[in-house]
Structure 1
Amino acid sequence: MKKIVTFIVMFLLSLSFKAQTGAKIEFKEQEIDYGNVSKSSDNGVRYFEFTNTGDAPLIIKNVQSTCGCTIPSFSKEAVAPGGSGKIEVKYNMAPGPIRKSIMVESNAVNTEGGLISLKIKGTVN
Structure 2
Amino acid sequence: MKKLILMTLMLIGAMTTMMAQKPAEIKFDTVTHNFGSFSESDPIVTCVFKFTNVGEMPLVINQAVASCGCTVPEYTKTPIQPGQKGEIKVTYNGTGKFPGHFKKSITVRTNGVKEMTRLYIEGDMTEASK
TM-score by length of 1: 0.78
Q: Which residue of 1 aligns with 2:37?
A: 36
> C-alpha deviations, 1:38-90, integer Å up to 9, x for none?
24456311111100011010000000000101011112100000000100110
Q: Which residue of 2 aligns with 1:81?
A: 82
Equivalent positions of 1:3-82 (< 5 A) are: 21-41=22-42, 43-82=44-83
Provide the rounded CA distance (Å) in 2 between the counterparts of 1:19 and 1:37: 49
1:119 offset after TM fit, Å?
A: 0.4
- Contact (CA 8 Å) 2:61, 2:111: kept in 1 or not? yes
Provide the rounded CA distance (Å) in 1 between the counterparts of 2:41 and 2:85: 32
Provide the rounded CA distance (Å) in 1 between the counterparts of 2:76 and 2:45: 19
Corresponding letter in the other structure for 1:48: F
- Percent of residue pairs identical: 38
Corresponding letter in the other structure for 1:34: F
- Contact (CA 8 Å) 2:43, 2:125: kept in 1 or not? no
1:19 offset after TM fit, Å?
A: 8.6
> C-alpha deviations, 1:5-32, integer Å up to 9, x for none?
xxxxxxxxx9xxx697110100000000
Provide the rounded CA distance (Å) in 1 between the counterparts of 2:81 and 2:124: 36
Give the 3-state SS of the residue equivalent to 1:122 in structure 2. strand
> C-alpha deviations, 1:79-113, integer Å up to 9, x for none?
0000001001100024321210000000111x1xx
Question: Structure 2, unaligned stretches of length 5 or more?
Answer: 1-15
Q: Which residue of 2 aligns with 1:100?
A: 104
Provide the rounded CA distance (Å) in 1 between the counterparts of 2:20 and 2:104: 32
TM-score by length of 2: 0.75
Q: Which residue of 2 aligns with 1:6?
A: none
Provide the rounded CA distance (Å) in 2 between the counterparts of 1:26 and 1:37: 29
For these two proteins, the number of residue pairs brought into alignment is 107
1:37 offset after TM fit, Å?
A: 1.6
